[in-house]
Amino acid sequence: MCDTYSKNNDGIRFDSNERIVKNSDIDQQWADWLAPTRRSFLFGAGAAAVGLTLGDEALAEVPETTDHEATGPATAFLALNGPIKPYVSADKGTSEWGYETLKQPTAQPKGLWPGTESGLPTKPRAYTDIKSYHAHFYFDFDTYEKAALIRRWAGERFPVELGDWNLQPRGPHVTPSFYFGFTNDLLPVIVPWVQLNSLGLTILLHPNTDDPRADHLYYTLWVNRSQPVNAYGMKAPRDEQGRVMVEKILPNVTPSVKLELS
């Protein structure tokens, strides 16, 4: 079966079943402007062609070439300082590491997580290994008033062992801090209380087990954010018989304010 075509007045074939809709005058004008031959002319003409096709407003929006770049801030900086050259150290000598470090084999370090020194543990630790908890509150020159308020609030409400102010790094704690210790039964209350009353301070809550290094580095709960703790060298204290000693909590403040409830 052959397709049947008719011819229009211009001698162009078209399908007799096809409906031809004539462009409006403005559509045809745009079609003529955007034809390939016209596009090359328009782009070649540049801003003048933009003004011709889109009007004076579009022409006004075309940025004019100025000598701003030649007199701008970068040029002034260059005139004042000249070309900026990177500083290159003039140190002389031999590296303390020698010249063969790239050839060193990759060594696998021992596992740091307790019980994984030789692979995965065979069973989980007992939750009763945790004997008590510490809460450490870190502050600085700008936040000490917040720390003082939280310290007073906690001492008024909980039977905790409240330590001294540490205005310098102490133990594994690298910034000023204070802490209080508390027994396990207070954990479900103190954790949400601290979360809601942190005032934005960085707070470390950790358990007390027979491994103080792991207590400070791996078994931790942080409120708001974490910060470095210099506990990698911590070792468990031992008594005269060599037995590991776990931190004891001896409350030294008596609550005087009832906990707020919603």
What are the pLDDT digits (tens) for 144-197? 999 999 999 999 999 999 999 999 999 999 999 999 999 999 999 999 999 999
3-state secondary structure of 33: helix
pTM assigned to the model: 0.66
Lookup result for tokens 């207590």: 215
The burial of 198, by beta-carbon neighbours within 10 Å (0-12 exposed, 13-18 middle, 19 or more buried), is given as middle
Q: 127-223: which CATH architecture? A: 2-Layer Sandwich (3.30)
Which of 216, 218, 212 shows the shortest CA–CA distance to 245? 212
Domain ranges in the chain are 5-61, 127-223
d(CA 99, CA 104): 11
**For 8-53, what is each residue's pLDDT tens digit?**
666 656 555 656 566 677 777 766 666 655 555 555 555 454 455 5
Let me know: does 14 contact 6? Beta carbons within 8 Å: yes
